[in-house]
Amino acid sequence: MVVAACSSSSSSSTTSGTTPTSAGFNAATGSVVNASTAKGGTLTFDNSSGPDSTDAGNTYYAFNLNFTRLYATPLTTYSSSPGSAGLSVVPALATSLGVASDGNKTWTYHLKSGVTYEDGTPVTSADVKYAVERTFDRTVLPNGPSYFASLLAGNAATYKGPFKDKTGNATAIDTPDSSTIVFHLNQPFADFNYVVAFPQTAPVPQAKDTGANYQLHPLSTGPYMFQSYQLNKQYTLVPNPKWNPAWDPQVKQLASKVIVNLNVNADDIDNRLLAGDISVDQAGSGVQAAARARILSNPSLKNSSDNPVTGFMWFFYVNTQVAPLNNVHCREAVLFAANKNTLQTAYGGPYGGDIASTAIPPTVNGYSKFDLYNALSMPNGDVTSAKQQLQACGQPNGFNVNIAYRSDRPREVASATALQASLAAAGIHATLKGFPASSYYGTFAGVPTYVHTHSLGILTGGWGPDWPDAYGWGWALFDGKAIATAGNANIAEENNPVVNNLFNQLEQATTDSARVSISQQIDMQVMKDAVMLPAVYSKALLYRGSNLTNVNVNEYYGMYNYGILGLKS
Amino acid sequence: MTSFIIRRLFAAVLLLILVSMVIFAIFFLLPKLGGQTNYGLATQYVGRNPTREAVLQMEDQLGLNKPVYQQYWDYLRAIVAGGYFGTGSNRVYCPPPCFGYSFKNQQPVWPQMVSDIPVTLSLAIGASVLWLVGGVTIGVISALKRGTIIDRLSMTIALFGVSLPIFFTGLIALELFSYRWPIFPNVQFVPFTENPYLWAKNLVLPWLVLAFLYAALYARLTRAGMLETMSEDYIRTARAKGLSERTVIFKHGLRSALTPILTIFGLDIGLLLGGAIITEYTFSLHGLGLFTIEAVQNQDFPEIMGVTMLATFFVIIANLVVDILYAVLDPRVRY
Amino acid sequence: MAGDDDILGTSARGARGRRGRTAAEGSVVASGPQSGAMLEVQDLRVRFQTDDGLVRAVDGVSFALDRGQTLGIVGESGSGKSVTSLAIMGLHRGGSTTIDGRIWLSGEELVGANPARVRELRGAKMAMIFQDPLSSLHPYFKVGDQIVEAYRIHHPKDSKRQARQRAIDMLGRVGIPQPAVRLDDYPHQFSGGMRQRVMIAMALVNDPELLIADEPTTALDVTVQAQILDLISSLQAEFGSAVIIITHDLGVVAELSDDILVMYAGRAAEYGPAVGVFNRPEHPYTWGLMASMPRMDRELTTRLVPIPGTPPSLIRVPPGCPFHPRCRYSGLVGERCKTEVPVLHEATAGHASACHLTAAQKAREWSELSAGNVRDEVRETVPQGEVEA
């Protein structure tokens, strides 16, 4: 009688699941690693700070737009299919993508039937309308995007939200019946399906809305619901027994518990991740420098990591109002002179990002590869062309300029320093000026009058797209109408009527191909205007926990898709 | 004695008011000197791409447009009598002691602080017992065996303990005992009421790291104190009476040497109760220290104010207790 | 202190004899107690090893004492007087201290004895009081507790109440009013003189045979000094203990002592009955002490003559006579003072001194000095050759 290979506690590789075989470096970018339908286990997320809010109507952080789908179902969402399919919006709470009419000014959605909250109360279109209305009150829910307030017609400009206006409502939103909702916009907006993909459209029952306290226990329409929340410390989700997978095919209900630990020391998170004590780093922006070095130098660790493009870009604004940069040729000199290699090193080397040459990153629809300033062909900088441009703008011996950056971000310190060095080679003398990150947009770089008074000609910036097309990426950066007196993101103060017009056309276009073409034109024009010096298309080094199943990088979120994760049994 | 305590409590209240004024000034007046506007400050709390309307509303919500003294008065009054926050259907009553609402997540500050106190308390008390017992013991032994190898060795180790920063010893401890050899894996706080064993087990590393620093200090202090005390005349008298060396050392010597040590101990605990910032950060224990870091990083004024007042309060009480303790221990002290 | 010239006697050994005992010739060490005296010190040497060198704090001192007698040890700071008494009590500590010589207390040898045995004797058979009673009493404990502690360590079988009663008795004996109440006071609640009384009470609570008082009055007011000295004297008469008083103040020893030992640089300079030492001192150092002391029986216009110079370092003691660098009279015996260490010997019967001057020279110089004739340097009138053994 041959002794069969029984499941002993030896570390023999015949027992499945005990010795994880890693699928290889970058395996989760483009395909799903450890695909499985196995249920059970506890998913532990650690975060070095936390979400801006757990209230789905009050959040903007990319990782949270990803995570809130576990308990909040918006009208549309991003596809969980691997690869570039993940950039497309697909219906979630709605039965199909919105039906446009009136030249893209009216959008109609039908809700799926039978959808309820975790307590069994049915979801109605009035709940979706209410969810959007409550975000109008920026004193209670300040964090989310403000597209609804700026796009909706009717009284949107003056409506104060249901907390302050007890009797009124947003007149631009109609609910003809309990499963239909109609949005009336004040301008054509072809991208509206993207706008409703924000969790601000996840339904909220007005009778149970506690305003600023709703974040403590939002009522779930997703696969998980809140069990407990200790503010700033931890929140725990458990499976929502009322959930039906048909309501959102893009998410799964696999783990039997989800724990999120907040305010954990960032290096600690990496150590715990590598030791297998936790499942995921919720922030999803990659490991810190120490762990990165460890992972890259250790083949077996490297095989369990992924290096996806995150959808973010790091770059420098080149301001059009600060002399002599108000002359386009001086701006072009800056773009020619910059040493792209040293910039890439500053942002983390090849694993930290790819050298960028366009104003739009590759994961945005409308990206096309072009290189007006020899960023790719001469990555160490093109001093000759720079000097020609200096002649053309009347500064043959170079000029003085200030570079503003966020001094508590080591990568920005390094990149500003690298840029300073490379500009010097062309005779442009740059002085570095550091600012605190938390008030960079509010008080310094984001305040045009401050920028003018202090002659901040070049300023660091980083940006992620609200949705993956040229409008969702670049409207706030390049449209003249986006310039604000504080919290400004169009820091270069680009106000070219050509570009402004292209953005309008983008939203009136009815076909995808038209939108792509317009996006490419925007990109080209912005680069010709030399208002942005692209540095890198950012990449993150993510570590794949060995017990995780269904690991896949979603190209829109730029990190692992949190809606489908599970654990090995 | 009672009039002494009453006078000190009165002075404590005055001090707290003074501290609150200083923090108010720092938070509101200094940035204005640097050119920040209310608008700019409010922008930080309204997320990305805010509309002008939104920012103005937030300014209003945070009360930034009221005159500084009005804001200050409202704040003080809320601590004692409670106050209302928010507007419309969102208007809530915040019962005393009300330290305002957090700018960032619009939640009352006081309950958040209260929920963090057990962590800091556990950390402080556990570590303090360890360092007091350990430090004093080593200090006494070193003093009695002055000049020997034991003395030199323990003082050298103590020098390391005093010089090595907590984030260094903490990280080494984590690397060795949490990641490499998982004796204490996944350090996180478990409340005592939930599971005393896990509570203690998870706190062992932070206790040891924190205690190492202080124990070293106390060993050196105790050694110095003992050496000084043992050279006092009354020690000679005690020996002249024929008392055993043990009685001389512990009853006559240590008793005197310990008095200043105990008073320092009280002060150290008072400071630590305001939050062992570096230890909490290194081990990701969410106590008042971590609360402070977040508050500062988020420029969340009510939270900054609240935790500073609380920490000040602890220090004041510790000082008071220490003064009373000293008067009790040393009959020569008149109060 | 009426003059009793018959001070040398070979008999009279009783416990109550008021006889001083002279040291033996030279520094010969005998094998047992020389006399039947209660306390006998023979050739005591105490040395400390320090970083700067070997300190010879006490370098060959001998004396003897009976119950009921008082010995006054006189000398400047650093002369070795306190070190001597601490050596008797066994209070020197540490490996860097070496004690040689012999000390007998009631026939029991103390040098080299088992420290546990010496501790038994401390506080019981021999007791000591110190200069500053404020720093010598533990500030944290009540006075009564400290006395009770001193009692109970040597009478462990007695109850607390008995010990407390004994403490009250002692406090009363030393003249503290309301002793039962003041028992519960702390040292800082007493005046200086009262504190010293407390110390005395604590020292005498176990009825010791020997009481050593190290500068008992130095820290006190002059008026209080007299009270304390009276107290010591009367308690000595009552308890019959032997007393050693250590001081630098001649007035104190004049009052109380039967015998006087003058120490200089760790050695005995002069040793004899108080009457003799005061009226006919036989050492230039003692002369210096006398001459520098104001006296009631002299003219106010008589000049006080200080001793020039400073006491020597005990690490590098001058060769020969340790006093010679400051001595006006060393010229009288040529170079001998610089080269030869004078030995303590009896120039006159019962009265010893360590000096090379002849008896005749001493007598002459002293009479000159006490008459008020001070000569700054005594050399020129005496030819080199006149040296007498």
Across the interface, of B237, B247, B256, the residue whose CB is closest to C137 is B237
State mean pLDDT over C323-343: 84
Give ∠ CA B187-B189-B191 in degrees, rounded to 5: 145
Q: In terms of Cα–Cα distance, which of A445, A458, A330, A442 is closest to A397?
A: A330
Residue of B nearest to C184 (CA): B331
Residue of C nearest to B255 (CA): C140
Residue C381: pLDDT band by 50, 70, 90 thresholds? very low
- Paired with A460 in beta bridges are A316
Q: Please return the burial class of A511, using the count of CB atoms within 10 Å of its CB with bins 0-12, 13-18 and 19+.
A: exposed
Neighboring chain A residues of B307 at a CB cutoff of 8 Å = none
Across the interface, of A146, A213, A231, the residue whose CB is closest to B49 is A146
Residue C34: pLDDT band by 50, 70, 90 thresholds? low
- Paired with B85 in beta bridges are B92
Per-residue pLDDT at C140 exceeds 90: yes
Helix (H) or strand (E) run with residue B247 in it: helix B245-247
Query: For residue C223, what pLDDT is reported?
Result: 84
Low-confidence ranges of chain B (pLDDT < 70): 47-51, 86-90, 334-335
Query: For residue A211, what pLDDT is reported?
Result: 87
Asked if residue A379 lies in contact with residue A355, where contact means CB atoms within 8 angstroms, the answer is yes
Ramachandran region, residue A319 (left: φ > 0; alpha: ψ -120 to 50; beta: rest) = beta
Neighboring chain A residues of B299 at a CB cutoff of 8 Å = 438-439
Low-confidence ranges of chain A (pLDDT < 70): 1-21
* C-alpha distance from B316 to closest chain A C-alpha (Å): 28
* C-alpha distance from B241 to closest chain C C-alpha (Å): 4
Asked if residue C179 lies in contact with residue C194, where contact means CB atoms within 8 angstroms, the answer is no
The C-alpha atoms of residue A61 and residue A40 are separated, in whole angstroms, by: 28
Neighboring chain A residues of B297 at a CB cutoff of 8 Å = 49, 438
What fold characterizes domain A309-539?
Dipeptide-binding Protein; domain 3 (3.10.105)
Cα A113 from chain centre: 31
Neighboring chain C residues of B236 at a CB cutoff of 8 Å = 91, 130, 136
Sequence ranges of the domains in chain A = 27-260+542-567, 309-539
Asked if residue A371 lies in contact with residue A316, where contact means CB atoms within 8 angstroms, the answer is no
- Secondary structure string (H, E, C) spanning C287-314: HHHHHCCCCCCCCCCCCCCCCCCCCCCC
Q: What is the DSSP string of A354-372?
A: EEP-SSS-TTSBT-----T
Residue of B nearest to C201 (CA): B241
CB B87 to CB A163 under 8 A? Answer: yes
Query: For residue A399, what pLDDT is reported?
Result: 93
3-state secondary structure of A134: helix
- How many helices (H) does chain A have, and how many strands (E)? 15, 23
**Bridge-based pairing state of the strands A400-406 and A429-435:** parallel
Sequence ranges of the domains in chain B = 2-98, 111-333
Quickly count: other Cβ atoms within 10 Å of residue B179's Cβ: 17
Helical packing angle, B166-174 and B196-230, nearest 10°:
140
Neighboring chain B residues of C135 at a CB cutoff of 8 Å = 232-234
Q: Is the CB of residue B65 less than 8 Å away from at least one CB of chain A?
A: no
Would the pTM of this model clear 0.90, i.e. be above it?
no
Asked if omega into B97 is within 30° of 0 (cis), the reply is: yes
Residue of C nearest to B243 (CA): C153
Query: For residue C10, what pLDDT is reported?
Result: 30
Q: Is the CB of residue C105 less than 8 Å away from at least one CB of chain B?
A: no
Query: For residue A279, what pLDDT is reported?
Result: 94
The CATH homologous superfamily to which domain A27-260+542-567 belongs is Periplasmic binding protein-like II (3.40.190.10)
Across the interface, of A145, A267, A438, the residue whose CB is closest to B48 is A145
Across the interface, of A49, A150, A163, the residue whose CB is closest to B88 is A163
DSSP C48: E
Quickly count: other Cβ atoms within 10 Å of residue A78's Cβ: 26
Phi first, then psi, for residue B8 (nearest 5°) are -65, -40
Residue C41 tokens read as 């010190």
Helix, strand, coil percentages, rounded to 5, for chain B:
75, 0, 25
Mutant choice from A265, A271, A409, A435 vs B, greatest count of B C-beta within 10 A: A265
Q: What is the pLDDT of residues C161-190, one digit of tens each?
A: 999 999 999 999 899 999 999 999 999 999
Across the interface, of A142, A233, A489, the residue whose CB is closest to B286 is A233
**Bridge-based pairing state of the strands A76-78 and A89-91:** antiparallel
Asked if residue C209 lies in contact with residue C36, where contact means CB atoms within 8 angstroms, the answer is no
Per-residue pLDDT at C18 exceeds 90: no
Neighboring chain B residues of A487 at a CB cutoff of 8 Å = 43, 46, 48-50, 55
Across the interface, of B232, B239, B252, the residue whose CB is closest to C91 is B239
Distance linking the first and last C-alpha atoms of chain B:
7
Q: Which amino acid is at A13?
A: S
Asked if residue A239 lies in contact with residue A253, where contact means CB atoms within 8 angstroms, the answer is yes
CB A165 to CB B87 under 8 A? Answer: no
* C-alpha distance from B99 to closest chain A C-alpha (Å): 16
Per-residue pLDDT at C219 exceeds 70: yes
Query: For residue B84, what pLDDT is reported?
Result: 78
Asked if residue A49 lies in contact with residue A224, where contact means CB atoms within 8 angstroms, the answer is no
Cα C295 to Cα C2, C133, C169, C290, C301: the distances in Å are 18, 29, 39, 9, 11
Cα A452 from chain centre: 29
Helix (H) or strand (E) run with residue A459 in it: strand A456-463
Residue of B nearest to C117 (CA): B242
Neighboring chain C residues of B241 at a CB cutoff of 8 Å = 122-123, 127, 149-150, 153, 202
Cα A222 to Cα A208, A427, B112, C18: the distances in Å are 17, 58, 28, 111
CB B236 to CB C119 under 8 A? Answer: no
Q: Is the CB of residue C120 less than 8 Å away from at least one CB of chain B?
A: yes
The C-alpha atoms of residue A251 and residue A68 are separated, in whole angstroms, by: 11
The C-alpha atoms of residue A559 and residue A280 are separated, in whole angstroms, by: 11
Residue A272 tokens read as 């715990």
Per-residue pLDDT at C225 exceeds 80: yes
CB B88 to CB A166 under 8 A? Answer: yes
Helix (H) or strand (E) run with residue C58 in it: strand C53-65
Mutant choice from B146, B233, B237, B244 vs C, greatest count of C C-beta within 10 A: B237
The C-alpha atoms of residue B220 and residue B159 are separated, in whole angstroms, by: 9
What is the CATH code of the structural domain delimited by B111-333?
Answer: 1.10.3720.10
CB B58 to CB A142 under 8 A? Answer: yes
B·C CB contacts under 8 A? 65
Asked if residue C353 lies in contact with residue C344, where contact means CB atoms within 8 angstroms, the answer is yes
Per-residue pLDDT at C255 exceeds 70: yes
3-state secondary structure of A483: coil
Stretch 35-54 of chain B: residues touching chain A, C-beta under 8 Å: 35-37, 39-54
Residue of B nearest to A206 (CA): B89
Helical packing angle, B301-329 and B255-273, nearest 10°:
170
Helical packing angle, A470-478 and A512-528, nearest 10°:
30
Residue A534 tokens read as 């692209």
Query: For residue C302, what pLDDT is reported?
Result: 67
Q: From start to end of A320-387, where are the E strands?
A: 353-355
Across the interface, of A143, A265, A277, the residue whose CB is closest to B282 is A265
Q: What is the pLDDT of residues B236-259, one digit of tens each?
A: 999 999 999 999 999 999 989 988
Per-residue pLDDT at C67 exceeds 60: yes
Q: Is the CB of residue C314 less than 8 Å away from at least one CB of chain B?
A: no
CB B240 to CB C127 under 8 A? Answer: yes
Query: For residue B190, what pLDDT is reported?
Result: 87
Mutant choice from B241, B254, B329 vs C, greatest count of C C-beta within 10 A: B241
Residue C239 tokens read as 């308890």
CB C135 to CB B232 under 8 A? Answer: yes
The C-alpha atoms of residue B261 and residue A263 are separated, in whole angstroms, by: 36
Quickly count: other Cβ atoms within 10 Å of residue A164's Cβ: 19
Q: Please return the burial class of A506, using the count of CB atoms within 10 Å of its CB with bins 0-12, 13-18 and 19+.
A: buried
Binding partners of C (≥3 Cβ pairs within 8 A): B
| Those residues with Cβ within 8 angstroms of residue C268's Cβ, 6 or more apart along the chain or in another chain | C23, C60, C61, C62, C63, C261, C262, C344, C352, C354
Q: In whole angstroms, how large is the CA radius of gyration of chain C?
A: 22
Residue C16: pLDDT band by 50, 70, 90 thresholds? very low
Residue of B nearest to A55 (CA): B105
Cα A438 to Cα A53, B160, C143, C336: the distances in Å are 17, 37, 66, 92
CB B43 to CB A271 under 8 A? Answer: no
* C-alpha distance from C33 to closest chain B C-alpha (Å): 24
- How many helices (H) does chain B have, and how many strands (E)? 15, 2
Quickly count: other Cβ atoms within 10 Å of residue C78's Cβ: 19
The C-alpha atoms of residue C89 and residue C111 are separated, in whole angstroms, by: 10
DSSP A72: -
Neighboring chain B residues of C155 at a CB cutoff of 8 Å = none
CB B55 to CB A446 under 8 A? Answer: no
